[in-house]
Amino acid sequence: MWIFLLRKCRQASLGYSMASKRFMVFFLLLCFFVLFSLHGQDAGYFMETRFVQRLTWSGDDYAMRYEVIIEKETDTGYTIAAQEYTSAFFIELSLSPGKYRYRVIPYDFLGSPGSGTQWIEFDVLPALVPELYGSVPEFDYSFIPGRFILTITGKNLENNAVFYLSAGGMEFHPIETNVYHDGSGAVLVFDRPHLIPENYIIFARNPSSLEANIAGSFYIIPPPVNYFKLYLSASWLPLLGTYGDMNWLSEQNSFLGVMARFGFVFTGLKLIDLGLETGVSGLYNNNLSPFISADLNLLTQIQTPARNMAIRFRLGAGYGFYGSMEWQSFHVNVGASFLWFVWKQLYIETGFDSIYWSIDEDNSGALRPWIGVGWSI
């Protein structure tokens, strides 16, 4: 009898042990699949980014606490967005984007409220998280030498965002930034000679201080330094007598004039460029008698940061003669012009020169307004 009971108890214990093992195996498998499914979901589904704003004010010597009322503007007026009591001079909030106003009411030691402040309006701007997808580098040798153009694609790029490249522990900021109106990309222009041979990381930082970066797929090799630029231009150039013996030009057809200029510019200085220029001009009167003039000028040039526009100043001297050398004289000239690159090395330039003659101890003067086209290499 006892043997039979022992056998039954042993069988029951074995059965319970097998059942518990099966249950443990099932429980472990269930935990594994639950954890795996949670791991596979997007982390953004479980996390919410909240931005904290701090609202501060000046304290009152007799105030024991403050009531802060914040209202949000809606289509029908204002609704209460927050109302807090505090003994500090600030509160921390997490407000959604929109237009708000607030006022602070002090309470004395008896718990009586004071007059409080007037309503003060403020805005909470959306804090967009920028994203960068890729970049397309363009090495522009022709249009404006020395530029490096970088086109980036992304998302949530604000118009006043800050972009820069990072390499070798240094930051390189663009000289021009053009952000697409929909925030899907931007075109950055860099001064290429200032870049170093390195692989770059591109950074974008929105005004909210949120930023993104992406490793660039380009390697920049600095171009050879070329401090000298040559140019050649042709201009339409009338000559208008202003005083002295040159007044006779006002009675002639002096608008049939052309001038060819050739020169070079040294661009190795930081603020200005210096150069030397020669020019030959020819004018014709009604009798087709030529007035030929040759000039040699010192040139000073001030360029924009993008190097697509410049202002030039000239100071020099020259020699001119009329007809068959029946009238000839040396002269001094000074001038200024404005230059604009319109396509690659092609530019348009317009300006004026003022010329001074001394002929047989008689002083004479003339103006030469002009406009022309040129090519720079």
- List, for residues 69-84, the tens digit of each pLDDT value: 999 999 999 999 999 9
Q: 365: domain CATH number?
A: 2.40.160.20
| Same domain? 148 vs 253 | no
Q: Could you identify the residue written with the tokens 């965002």?
A: 161
| Same domain? 175 vs 300 | no
Mean pLDDT, all residues of the chain? 79
Q: Which residue among 124, 143, 175 closes a domain?
A: 124
148 or 233: which leads in pLDDT: 233
| Same domain? 272 vs 339 | yes
Q: What is the arithmetic mean of pLDDT over 193-222?
A: 79
Domain count for the chain, please give it: 3
| Same domain? 138 vs 268 | no
Buried b or exposed e, range 144-155, using 16+ CB within 10 angstroms: bbbbbbbebbbe
pLDDT at 56 over 60: yes
| Same domain? 89 vs 205 | no
13 falls within a domain: no
What is the C-alpha end-to-end distance of the chain, expressed in Å? Answer: 117
**Given this model, what pLDDT does residue 286 score?**
63
Residue type, 116: G
pTM for the predicted model, two decimal places: 0.45
Q: Which residue among 170, 198, 219 closes a domain?
A: 219
pLDDT at 223 over 60: no
| Same domain? 241 vs 150 | no
96 falls within a domain: yes
193 falls within a domain: yes
318 falls within a domain: yes
| Same domain? 176 vs 210 | yes
Count of other CB atoms within 10 angstroms of residue 257:
20
pLDDT at 108 over 80: yes
33 falls within a domain: no
DSSP per-residue string spanning 206-264: -TTS-EEEEEEEEE--PPPP--EEEEEEEEE---EEEEGGGGGGGGS-TTEEEEEEEEE
174 falls within a domain: yes
Picking from 5-14, 58-67, 314-323, which range would have the lowest pLDDT averaged per residue? 5-14
130 or 256: which leads in pLDDT: 130
302 falls within a domain: yes
For Cα atoms 325, 329, 334, give the angle at the middle one, nearest 5 degrees: 135
pLDDT band at 225 (very low <50, low <70, confident <90, very high): low
**Given this model, what pLDDT does residue 70 score?**
93
| Same domain? 71 vs 101 | yes
Domain that holds residue 149: 131-219
Measured in degrees and rounded to the nearest 5, phi and psi for residue 17 equal -65, -40
Q: What is the arithmetic mean of pLDDT over 7-30?
A: 47
Q: Is 106 exposed, middle or buried (0-12, 13-18, 19+ CB in 10 A)?
A: buried
> CA–CA separation, 338 vs 270, rounded Å?
20
Q: Which residue among 124, 146, 169 closes a domain?
A: 124
> CA–CA separation, 86 vs 67, rounded Å?
7
DSSP per-residue string spanning 303-340: E-TTSSEEEEEEEEEEEEEETTTTEEEEEEEEEEEEEE
> CA–CA separation, 64 vs 44, rounded Å?
43
**Given this model, what pLDDT does residue 377 score?**
84
3 falls within a domain: no
Question: Residue 320 pairs with which residues in a beta bridge?
Answer: 293, 329
**Given this model, what pLDDT does residue 1 score?**
41
The predicted-structure confidence for 250-298, as pLDDT tens digits, reads as follows 555 466 789 999 999 998 777 789 999 999 998 876 665 677 889 999 9
**Given this model, what pLDDT does residue 217 score?**
59
| Same domain? 295 vs 358 | yes
**Given this model, what pLDDT does residue 289 score?**
67
Helix (H) or strand (E) run with residue 6 in it:
helix 2-40
Nearest to 106 by CA among 62, 75, 46, 147: 62
| Same domain? 285 vs 312 | yes
Picking from 44-58, 70-84, 236-250, which range would have the lowest pLDDT averaged per residue? 44-58
> CA–CA separation, 310 vs 302, rounded Å?
5
| Same domain? 170 vs 202 | yes
Q: Is 54 exposed, middle or buried (0-12, 13-18, 19+ CB in 10 A)?
A: exposed
Q: 70: domain CATH number?
A: 2.60.40.10
Q: Is 127 exposed, middle or buried (0-12, 13-18, 19+ CB in 10 A)?
A: middle
| Same domain? 108 vs 137 | no
